Amino acid sequence: MDAIMIQLAGVTKAFGETVAVRNLNLTVFRGEFLTLLGPSGCGKTTTLRMIAGFEKPTEGEILLDGQPVEGLPPYRRDVNTVFQHYALFPHMTVLENVAFGLAMKHVPREEARRRALEALEMVQLAGFEGRRPRQLSGGQQQRVAVARAIVNRPKVLLLDEPLGALDLKLRKQMQVELKHLQQRLGITFIYVTHDQEEALTMSDRIAVMSGGVIEQLGTSEEIYHRPRTRFVADFIGETNLFTGQVVALSASGLTVETPALRLTVPATPEVSAGALVHVSVRPEAIRVRPEDASGSHGALVGAGTVGSNRLSGRLLEKTFIGAATRLVVEVDAGQLVTVQTHNGDSHSLRQGSPVTLTWEPEDSAVMVA
């Protein structure tokens, strides 16, 4: 996966006063599944449209398989796009819809038919070739759109929220199918979504975008467990954030003091003594048990001591969410902490009862504030 398929170098796109994408640098490898993830308006679609050739960068350069694409119209780029609203031709059959692009390229009729049938088979729609789009379910129409996009085997497939219109169950099924298809074909995918769970399950790497810039680029694990900014920590999944100052440094960990708490966090090279930092702790990393008999009130482990973090508090809310139970605990310092436990673990806990929360330093991430 080392060959570079797409490169964006210093790409900016301004629409009048609005800067949709700002000085973006991004390398996508051949055969990679890369996701652009971020909230509405952060520049995901604009980025895709520049790669596809529907939009011209205000500044910067885009290379596709080593070649600059400036000035090339969309149909001259070896790139296809699947949009959220897949716009099939209603009066054409499924087969005609899929073969349409080949007909435009003057591929002989019989060959176009054979390749369209093959593409339909890949998206598990063999036997549907004679139907019209309105005779298909939403998920099936979406698959036709994918078949249409892969039929001429582009080097790159751009997908802009392709599952946005589907219900949750179908969406999950299509996520798995798309991922398998991508692996089987070896086509480079750039996938746009604002759904973090979708991004985490499908991607080789994720570029988290905000306000036209990439905040962090990394694997799902890196993005989830080692967020580098507060925005990333907050946007990806649920988390607990504590803000405080680094008061002690040692090889094995840092001590962070908030106005009311003291936390031990992993040693982090870019953080120095005195720095103001955010500490992110995922709800599922925290263990909960009834208040210790020894009753350690207030803060936790002493400065410099490397060990579990321990907070005491009071259970405010307990919500059954299926596979797990979600707890909201007000710690003695006043902050609300969300905890997710396996169902058995919190069985004996009642609303209002005193509890102790613990987590290991390495289960938290530190970001410079």
Ligand X SMILES: Nc1ncnc2c1ncn2[C@@H]1O[C@H](COP(=O)(O)OP(=O)(O)OP(=O)(O)O)[C@@H](O)[C@H]1O
Cα 364 to chain center, whole Å? Answer: 19
15 makes contact with ligand X (CB under 6 A)? yes
> Within a 10 A sphere around the Cβ of 146, how many other Cβ atoms?
24
279 makes contact with ligand X (CB under 6 A)? no
> Within a 10 A sphere around the Cβ of 274, how many other Cβ atoms?
9
AA identity, residue 6: I
44 makes contact with ligand X (CB under 6 A)? yes
Q: Which stretch binds ligand X (CB under 6 A): 40-48, 224-232, 276-284, 287-295?
A: 40-48
Q: Which stretch binds Mg ion (CB under 5 A): 38-46, 91-99, 306-314, 333-341?
A: 38-46
Residue 209 CB, nearest approach to ligand X (Å): 7
Residue 70 CB, nearest approach to ligand X (Å): 19
Token pair belonging to 228: 């580098």
x/- contact string, 19-38, with ligand X (CB under 6 A)?
-x-----------------x
Residue 31 CB, nearest approach to ligand X (Å): 25
Q: Which stretch binds Mg ion (CB under 5 A): 44-52, 202-210, 244-252, 286-294?
A: 44-52
Q: What is the dihedral of CA 194, 197, 199, 205, to 10 degrees?
A: 130
Nearer to ligand X, 40 or 294 (CB): 40
40 makes contact with ligand X (CB under 6 A)? yes
**Count helices and strands in the chain by DSSP H and E runs:** 8, 20
- Candidates 209, 256, 253, 268; CA nearest to 235 is 209
Question: 20 contacts which partner out of ligand X, Mg ion, none, CB within 5 to 8 A by kind?
Answer: ligand X
Q: Which stretch binds Mg ion (CB under 5 A): 10-18, 42-50, 61-69, 73-81?
A: 42-50
The answer to whether 59 and 21 have CB atoms below 8 angstroms apart is no
Nearer to ligand X, 10 or 298 (CB): 10
Question: 25 contacts which partner out of ligand X, Mg ion, none, CB within 5 to 8 A by kind?
Answer: none
Question: 43 contacts which partner out of Mg ion, ligand X, none, CB within 5 to 8 A by kind?
Answer: ligand X
- Candidates 153, 232, 183, 207; CA nearest to 25 is 207
Nearer to ligand X, 44 or 205 (CB): 44
> Within a 10 A sphere around the Cβ of 82, how many other Cβ atoms?
23
Nearer to ligand X, 18 or 124 (CB): 18
Taking CB under 5 A as the criterion, the residue among 5, 8, 21, 45 binding Mg ion is 45
Token pair belonging to 342: 């396996």
Residue 11 CB, nearest approach to Mg ion (Å): 16
Question: 42 contacts which partner out of ligand X, Mg ion, none, CB within 5 to 8 A by kind?
Answer: ligand X
Site for ligand X, residues 137 to 196, rule: CB under 6 A: 194
Sheet holding 240-250, edge to edge: 262-265, 253-257, 240-250, 276-281, 364-368
AA identity, residue 222: E
**DSSP structure class, residue 302:** P
211 makes contact with ligand X (CB under 6 A)? no
Number of residues forming the site for ligand X (CB under 6 A): 12
18 makes contact with ligand X (CB under 6 A)? yes
Please, which residues bridge with residue 330 across strands? 314, 336
Nearer to ligand X, 46 or 142 (CB): 46
Cα three-residue angle 164-166-168, rounded to 5 degrees:
100
The answer to whether 306 and 361 have CB atoms below 8 angstroms apart is yes
Token pair belonging to 38: 């971020």
Q: What gap in Å lies between CA 363 and CA 158, rounded to an integer?
A: 35
The residues binding ligand X (CB under 6 A) are 15, 18, 20, 38, 40-46, 194
The residues binding Mg ion (CB under 5 A) are 45
